[in-house]
Amino acid sequence: MNAVPAVRVTNLYRHYGTRVALAGVNFNVMPGELFAFLGPNGGGKTTLFKILSTLLPASSGEAEVFGHSLVQHPHAVRSHLGVVFQHPSLDLKLTVMENLQHHGHLYGLRGKLLRERAAEVLRRLSLVDRTNDVVETLSGGMQRRVELAKGLLHKPKLLLLDEPSTGLDPGARRDFNHYLVQLRDQEGVTIILTTHIMDEAERCDRVGILHQGQLVALDTPDALKAQVGGDVIAIRAARLPELCDKIAARFDCAPTVVDGALRVERLRGHEFVREVVEAFPGEVQSVTFGRPTLEDVFIHQTGHQFWTDTENEGRAL
């Protein structure tokens, strides 16, 4: 691990007035990694994305991209970056090709080289037959692909994507993810994305979980899930607090109440389910049992459920 990290972030803080958006974040991303920041809205993902993409200065702390300081050499950093925004940065009134041309010019590409690069990204993202269509006539999934094509035109070493699957149906999301994996494998591009979708984070090499401005966990999806003690059992009952105490006393564990259910992490969960139902007949209304997911990792780390009610619309996978 002697290589210069693609991204090195040290003790990064960002305040908005008195509100703290990032409270001392540390991490490295190595070249060629596909890295996800997972967290609920308001967790600090977008702030981190804005800082890394040079749109927002940090309040304190340091951030480097391929060894270039974001503060001292923003120009050098920018030339390595490809950025895909949550809100499209396409000009809807222009054609796909016109959007690519303007983008290329901003990165000093022109003439034959620009035409070749444009043809290449359009081919790669299967957009060739849409080259001369005005962007506003394209579907949402198609626009995302143009957005990605734009981000790749100047062959960035680091691709930053903010909630790339927003507004995509599951099929389009899978396709998009497939492009990212291909990009990492074939070109060695380092990719950092933010997401609130477990599924999407699951497919990345490493995942950082952001909660209230802090990086509460950072590891591979499998290692994160291994942190949760075995299986995850959720129990619903009429008198939850009472049952909670009884279970704690009888099984020597510490159940938590999350989202109206008792939540227990336990090895050999299937046996525990049987024992609980037998021990408290009539009190248990329902039991669900499963292997831990990244959502369980989040609850395990923070003691909070991942979603509040207002965010549930984004949950449908």
Partner 1 sequence: MSKFFLPVMTLWQREVVRFLRQRSRVVSALSTPLLFWLLLGSGFRASFRPPGTPEGTGYLEYLYPGIIVLTLLFTAIFSTISIIEDRKAGFLQGVLVAPVSRASIVMGQALGGTTLAVFQGALFLLLAPVAGISLSLQAVPAILAVMVLIAFALTSVGLTMAWRMESIQGFHALMNLILMPIWLLSGAFFPSAGLPSWLAWLMRLNPLTYGMAALRGCFYLGNPASAGPLPALLPSVLVTLLFAGGAFLLATMTALRKTEES
Binding site for partner 1 (CB under 8 A): 53-57, 74-76, 78-79, 81, 83, 85, 87-91, 93-94, 98, 101-103, 105-108, 110, 150
Tokens (6 digits) for 277: 């139902």
**By C-beta, is 9 or 77 nearer to partner 1?**
77
User: Please, which residues have CB within 8 angstroms of residue 63's CB and are 6 or more apart in sequence?
Assistant: 7, 8, 9, 10, 12, 51, 52, 69, 70, 71
Please, what is the minimum distance in Å from the beta carbon of residue 244 to partner 1?
A: 46
Query: How far is residue 225's CA from residue 215's CA, in Å, rounded to a whole number?
Result: 16
**By C-beta, is 16 or 241 nearer to partner 1?**
16
* DSSP calls for 107-130: TT--HHHHHHHHHHHHHHTT-GGG
Q: Compute φ and ψ for 213, nearest 5 degrees.
A: 80, 5
Q: Dihedral, CA atoms, 99, 101, 84, 148, nearest 10 degrees?
A: 90
**By C-beta, is 145 or 150 nearer to partner 1?**
150
Query: How far is residue 244's CA from residue 249's CA, in Å, rounded to a whole number?
Result: 9
Tokens (6 digits) for 25: 């974040």
Q: Is 289 exposed, middle or buried (0-12, 13-18, 19+ CB in 10 A)?
A: middle
- Give how far Cα 123 sits from Cα of 105, 119, 126, 146, 310, Å: 20, 6, 5, 11, 39
What DSSP element (H or E) covers 224? helix 221-227
Please, what is the minimum distance in Å from the beta carbon of residue 10 to partner 1?
A: 21
**By C-beta, is 110 or 123 nearer to partner 1?**
110
Query: How far is residue 218's CA from residue 51's CA, in Å, rounded to a whole number?
Result: 19
Q: Which residues pair with 289 in a beta bridge?
A: 233
**By C-beta, is 30 or 56 nearer to partner 1?**
56
**By C-beta, is 56 or 277 nearer to partner 1?**
56
- Helices and strands: H and E segment counts in the chain: 11, 14
Please, what is the minimum distance in Å from the beta carbon of residue 103 to partner 1?
A: 6
**By C-beta, is 69 or 301 nearer to partner 1?**
69
Please, what is the minimum distance in Å from the beta carbon of residue 134 to partner 1?
A: 8
**By C-beta, is 85 or 272 nearer to partner 1?**
85
